[in-house]
Amino acid sequence: MERGAGALSPRRRGLLRCGKSCRLRWINYLRPGLRRGNFTMEEDELIIKLYSRLSNRWSLIAARLPGRTDNEIKNHWNTHVSRKLLSRGIDPATHRRLIHEEKETGRLLPYKQEKIRSSSSNRCPDLNLDLCLSPPSQKP
């Protein structure tokens, strides 16, 4: 009995990758519709808002950014966005304002979190995170 082409392993097809590696390469690099290149300011702001509500649930955040993968967003957060928040005086983990304290010596001490009581709904009132499943819309 002959096996179908789909049953052959990647190695038997002459590839140097395992099946998992092939799947991840498709998901993160080769899939049609992926956006490559720099993130826009709007995407950065949306990532900040979503992170404040969802924390590091990168796949949920990626679902709100068409064409971006969860891994790409995570890497962008860790290398660019968290630094941008720190430069604005905001703690990337808690989204609370950071303030400098000076002693009589005039030296700046490390950042201290300002105690701000705010619920997540006050931080991003315009963000709708209602998740629902529905069939894809079909254009006439």
Can you give the pLDDT at residue 102? 47
Query: At 28, is the secondary structure helix, strand, or coil?
Result: helix
Q: Does the predicted TM-score (pTM) go above 0.75?
A: no
The C-alpha atoms of residue 29 and residue 41 are separated, in whole angstroms, by 22
Distances (CA, A) of 19 to 11, 29, 50, 70, 102: 9, 15, 32, 20, 57
Q: Is the model more confident about 16 or about 118?
A: 16
Q: pLDDT by residue (tens digit) across 116-139?
A: 444 444 566 666 666 666 666 666
Q: Which fold has domain 37-99?
A: Arc Repressor Mutant, subunit A (1.10.10)
SS3 content of the chain, % helix, strand, coil (to 5): 40, 5, 55
Annotated domain spans of the chain: 37-99
Query: At 99, is the secondary structure helix, strand, or coil?
Result: strand
Q: Give the residue from 82, 42, 87 showing the smallest Cα distance to 65.
A: 42
